[in-house]
Amino acid sequence: MCAAPLDAPHRHLLDLAARELRCACRPCSVLFAQPREAPSAEEGGGGRYRLVPDRRWLLDDFDLDDATWDELGIPVRMAFLFHDAAAGRTALFYPSPGGPVESPLEPALWRRLEEANPVLRRLTPDVEALLVNRTGAAAEHWIVPVDDCYRLVGLLRTHWKGLAGGPRVWDAVGGFFTELRQGSAIVTPAGHPTHIRGGTR
Ligand SMILES: [Zn+2]
């Protein structure tokens, strides 16, 4: 965002116009945290950037059955969904070795998910995503900062080999979800934290 040197763990700002993430130093993060806390109905020039939050919730007892998952029509076992405020809709993406791929999402299907899982109403538009992991035997659902989703996409881009990905990419994906589990609060379908794992979030 500015020319300041960055610490290894740092926050990101989403450029809403370009839909790109920009690395932010601590003062920039603090500066841009304010409009999010007091959002104006009509964002002016100051509304171009939004600070990506850093909460990570593992959603306990999330209601997404196999039939609904199949309806999403995703060719891999991972997906992420977020509200696109400018477009006024929820967008569905999945990670691929070629980058994030958008897939059509029926608005009615999203409404059904929201009704079954009221915690989804807590998603901050544009900067937080519902992340679904069905790799291996997993059936896990998270609310995560969108930059986590792009980090996952980056792992596929970097480590994917051949047709099935190869062992390195699946090790990397497994490590990503292990780390996410360790840094997440466990939250009930209504949006109440049950306990915090491994962190202070
Ligand atoms: Zn800065």
Query: Domain check: are 17 and 85 in the same one?
Result: no
**So what's the pLDDT on residue 3?**
84
Query: Domain check: are 21 and 113 in the same one?
Result: no
Query: Domain check: are 116 and 137 in the same one?
Result: yes
Query: Domain check: are 105 and 138 in the same one?
Result: yes
Query: Domain check: are 93 and 16 in the same one?
Result: no
Q: What is the pLDDT of residues 17-73, one digit of tens each?
A: 888 999 999 888 888 886 544 444 444 445 788 999 999 999 999 999 999 999 999
Query: Domain check: are 40 and 70 in the same one?
Result: no
CB 80 within 8 A of CB 129: yes
Average pLDDT, the chain: 89
- The residue ranges of the chain whose pLDDT is under 70 are 34-46, 195-201
Domain count, the chain: 2
CB 81 within 8 A of CB 105: yes
Could you tell me if residue 132 is inside a domain?
Answer: yes
For 33, the token pair is 């945290």
Could you tell me if residue 1 is inside a domain?
Answer: no
Could you tell me if residue 83 is inside a domain?
Answer: yes
Q: How far is the CA of 8 from the centre of ligand 1 (A)?
A: 14
Could you tell me if residue 5 is inside a domain?
Answer: no
Q: How far is the CA of 6 from the centre of ligand 1 (A)?
A: 8
For 70, the token pair is 């199949």
Query: Domain check: are 37 and 65 in the same one?
Result: no
**So what's the pLDDT on residue 30?**
87
Q: How far is the CA of 63 from the centre of ligand 1 (A)?
A: 40
CA distances from 111 to 105, 121, 151 (A): 11, 10, 27
Q: How far is the CA of 148 from the centre of ligand 1 (A)?
A: 20
**So what's the pLDDT on residue 37?**
46
Q: How far is the CA of 31 from the centre of ligand 1 (A)?
A: 9
Could you tell me if residue 156 is inside a domain?
Answer: yes
In whole angstroms, give the CA distance from residue 93 to residue 87: 15
Closest C-alpha to 16, from 51, 59, 40, 42: 51
Q: How far is the CA of 99 from the centre of ligand 1 (A)?
A: 27
Q: How far apart are the first and last CA of the chain?
A: 25
Query: Domain check: are 74 and 95 in the same one?
Result: yes
Q: How far is the CA of 2 from the centre of ligand 1 (A)?
A: 4
Query: Domain check: are 34 and 81 in the same one?
Result: no
In whole angstroms, give the CA distance from residue 158 to residue 145: 21
**So what's the pLDDT on residue 113?**
96
Q: What is the DSSP letter of 165?
A: B
**So what's the pLDDT on residue 118?**
94
Could you tell me if residue 19 is inside a domain?
Answer: yes
Could you tell me if residue 6 is inside a domain?
Answer: no
Query: Domain check: are 85 and 121 in the same one?
Result: yes
In terms of residue numbers, what domain contains 81?
Answer: 57-196
Query: Domain check: are 15 and 82 in the same one?
Result: no
CB 117 within 8 A of CB 130: no
Cβ neighbours around 177 below 10 Å, total:
18
Cβ neighbours around 159 below 10 Å, total:
17
**So what's the pLDDT on residue 34?**
65
Query: Domain check: are 41 and 109 in the same one?
Result: no
Q: How far is the CA of 29 from the centre of ligand 1 (A)?
A: 7
Q: How far is the CA of 157 from the centre of ligand 1 (A)?
A: 28
Could you tell me if residue 3 is inside a domain?
Answer: no
**So what's the pLDDT on residue 145?**
97
